[in-house]
């Protein structure tokens, strides 16, 4: 009971932290290019992760874990941050948050593939309904819609689901915060090189809000959030605690409207609610 309660508590803290990621990224891309933002946030988080690993005297991961760590790095260190940064140069944070409602489904889908489970046919029915809702929303005549931004968000959800599922499985052996820290270190050389070649030409043009956005996604979205999230999944169970991701779109829409002053159309709320319902029903039959 204590482990389950701790799992849900840690998972909720992780979701709350992740909910600020897209609004913070939206602010940061106003001053930094998507490529530099992706590289800088990973490099900063990797430095912090290295300090944690060294201070707590963690052993090196086994060779058999390197492939899984590479998948985590691809999904949540490089893929999701870059794709969302590219999307947020074309669409609003409020618009992009609707797509986050598909993240639990993507995580479940990769969990099914990895674990060899056989969900009931109803699972796939509700999965397709949820995807249809998102496709309809993306193709609707919405002033904030953009085909390139929507496709980038869909791709971001896929790679993030892969990273979540792989990281959750690996955290059972390595521990939650260790997984993200080692994945960050594995990606660090490439991220540092990318940061060097995408360095802003004029730092004086980078406003304070962009710096604050970079700081948030580097420290909280890229590291602290995963400390709580992977710990929650390990203690409370992937299927149960993973349901908390359904709250993220609602938290994110509130933040986008409150902090950025972005319009939140009724269609966004309706689409998010419909997708959350579909994902909830799909997970019940997973």
What tens-digit pLDDT sequence spans the chain (286 residues)? 556 778 888 988 998 999 889 889 989 999 999 999 999 999 999 999 999 999 999 999 999 999 999 999 999 999 999 999 999 888 888 788 878 878 877 877 787 776 565 667 887 788 778 778 876 776 665 566 688 888 999 999 999 989 988 888 888 788 888 999 999 999 999 999 999 999 998 898 899 999 999 999 999 999 999 989 888 877 777 666 776 777 777 787 777 777 778 777 787 788 888 888 877 777 676 5
Cβ–Cβ < 8 Å for 232, 241: yes
d(Cα 167, Cα 145) in Å, to the nearest integer?
32
Which conformational region is residue 261 in: left (phi greater than 0), alpha (psi within -120 to 50 degrees), or beta?
left
Measured CA to CA, the distance from residue 167 to residue 164 in angstroms comes to: 5
Distance, in Å, from the CA atom of 180 to the CA atom of 184, rounded to the nearest integer, reads 6
């Amino acid at each position: 009971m204590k482990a389950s309660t701790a799992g849900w508590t840690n998972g909720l803290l992780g979701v709350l932290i992740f909910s600020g990621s897209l609004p913070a990224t939206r602010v940061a891309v106003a001053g930094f290019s998507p490529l530099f933002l992706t590289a800088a946030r990973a490099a900063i988080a990797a430095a912090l992760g290295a300090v944690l690993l060294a201070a707590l005297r963690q052993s090196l991961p086994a060779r058999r874990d390197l492939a899984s760590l590479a998948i985590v790095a691809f999904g949540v260190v490089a893929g999701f941050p870059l794709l969302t940064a590219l999307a947020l140069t074309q669409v609003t944070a409020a618009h992009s948050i609707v797509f986050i409602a598909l993240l639990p489904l993507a995580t479940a889908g990769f969990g099914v593939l990895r674990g060899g489970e056989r969900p009931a046919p109803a699972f796939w029915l509700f999965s397709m309904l949820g995807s249809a809702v998102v496709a309809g929303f993306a193709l609707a005549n919405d002033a904030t819609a953009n085909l390139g931004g929507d496709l980038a968000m869909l791709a971001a959800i896929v790679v993030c689901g892969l990273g979540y599922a792989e990281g959750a499985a690996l955290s059972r052996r390595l521990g939650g915060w260790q997984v993200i820290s080692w994945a960050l270190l594995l990606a660090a050389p490439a991220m540092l090189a990318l940061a060097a070649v995408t360095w802003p030409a004029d730092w004086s043009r980078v406003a304070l809000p962009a710096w604050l956005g970079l700081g948030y996604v580097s420290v909280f979205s890229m590291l602290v959030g995963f400390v709580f999230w992977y710990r929650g999944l390990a203690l409370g169970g992937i299927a149960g605690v993973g349901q908390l991701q359904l709250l993220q779109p609602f938290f994110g829409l509130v933040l986008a409207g409150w902090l950025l002053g972005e319009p939140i159309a009724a269609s966004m709320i309706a689409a998010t609610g419909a997708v959350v319902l579909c994902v909830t029903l799909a997970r019940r039959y997973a």
